[in-house]
Amino acid sequence: MGETRRKLTTIFCADVQDYTRLMGADEEGTLATLKRCREAMGRLIESHGGRVVNTWGDGLIADFPSVVEAVRAAVDTQNELAGFNARRPDDGRMLFRIGLNLGDVIVEGDDIYGDGVNIAARLQASAAPGGIVISSTVYDQVRNKVAVGFEFLGPLMVKNVEEGVPSYAVRIGDGSDEAPSAERPAAARPLPAAAVTAETSPAPGGRRLYAVLGVIAAVLIGINLLSWQGVFWARFPVLALAVVAALAWNRGQTLFDRKLAALVIVALGIIGINLFTWEGRFWAVWPVLGLAAVLGLRWSMRR
């Protein structure tokens, strides 16, 4: 028996939809396909810093130190398997369901146990074929950090957990993780229109900030023009306001890595200062080069 301890981790649970039917139709072919899919899944899990904990039958459990990388691994897995299944006949496709939960687990040797694992397994069972369902603990960590949409599914009842676990379906692309309503498990069907849905559009507070910054910039330019003495001094505070607006936008965007985007915004601000104070020398090349080096190192470490 290995040493028993606890840790907080992101649990990744997956299994195959209609595995029994596939085995009944073609045992050897299904096992070969399962092996191929598992190899692809294991490769993607490891590339995102995760670890395959255990496999049984058609199931797989992995854990990740990073919640964001766990979601990225799940999305990459479903995208790669979708491409694989697209080349297969409809009745021979192997569709995985994936559940993700961030929770405290018991670690014994290489294995993990506890309610955190049970919740991930329940989320997986509620996912649509080819889909992903995550707990609210995962959603709270990734909602502004991955380029996917989310659909609130309501509380999910789990054995040994008194209150329901709020869950979200991950929308990949144009809803490729969605299944026809007849195929979607009842627990994973969306709530009525009155239910809360994940907010993916810019927050009203963000729009108000942009409006306030725009008004301030317009007022400064107006003061500069009305008191014109041959110097357009408003360009500097307006540039600062533009940088603040860009950084505020960056905090809520999911299209690019936010730290990389922040470096680009700062670099553009420095170039703007250099141009506004031009004296025949492009001194901004040095700080911009330094930022580019930091950006390049960060990008390379993510590959």
d(CA 260, CA 257): 5
Q: Output the domain CATH number for residue 42.
A: 3.30.70.1230
Residue 114 lies in a domain: yes
Residue 182 lies in a domain: no
**pLDDT tens digits for 258-289?**
777 888 899 999 999 999 999 999 999 999 89
d(CA 143, CA 253): 10
Residues 82, 222, single domain; the answer is no
Q: What pLDDT is attached to residue 127?
A: 92
Average pLDDT per 10 consecutive residues for the chain, totaling 303 residues: 81 93 89 92 94 91 95 94 87 92 91 91 92 94 89 80 84 52 40 37 61 91 93 92 87 66 89 92 91 77 50
Output the six-digit token pair for 198: 């994940």
Residue 273 lies in a domain: yes
> Dihedrals φ, ψ of 51, to 5°?
-140, 130
Residues 91, 226, single domain; the answer is no
- Domain carrying residue 140: 5-171
Residues 12, 150, single domain; the answer is yes
Q: How many folded domains does the chain comprise?
A: 2
Last residue of a domain, one of 117, 148, 171: 171
> Dihedrals φ, ψ of 11, to 5°?
-95, 130
Residues 165, 211, single domain; the answer is no
Residues 49, 156, single domain; the answer is yes
Residues 166, 215, single domain; the answer is no
Residue 27 lies in a domain: yes
Residues 144, 230, single domain; the answer is no
Residues 40, 166, single domain; the answer is yes
d(CA 217, CA 237): 8
Residue 250 lies in a domain: yes
Chain centroid to CA 72: 6
Residues 15, 149, single domain; the answer is yes
Locus of tokens 């409006």? 211
**Is-contact 126 188, C-beta < 8 A?**
yes
Residue 196 lies in a domain: no
Residues 23, 119, single domain; the answer is yes
Residue 198 lies in a domain: no
Please state whether the predicted TM-score (pTM) of the whole model is above 0.75.
no
> Dihedrals φ, ψ of 171, to 5°?
-95, 115
Question: Strand runs (DSSP E) across the chain, as ranges?
Answer: 4-16, 51-56, 59-64, 96-108, 111-113, 132-135, 149-156, 165-171
d(CA 1, CA 111): 11
**pLDDT tens digits for 10-52?**
999 999 998 988 998 889 989 999 999 999 999 999 999 999 9
d(CA 131, CA 185): 12
Last residue of a domain, one of 121, 147, 171: 171
**Is-contact 71 79, C-beta < 8 A?**
no
Residues 13, 140, single domain; the answer is yes
Residues 159, 262, single domain; the answer is no
Locus of tokens 């981790």? 9
Residue 188 lies in a domain: no
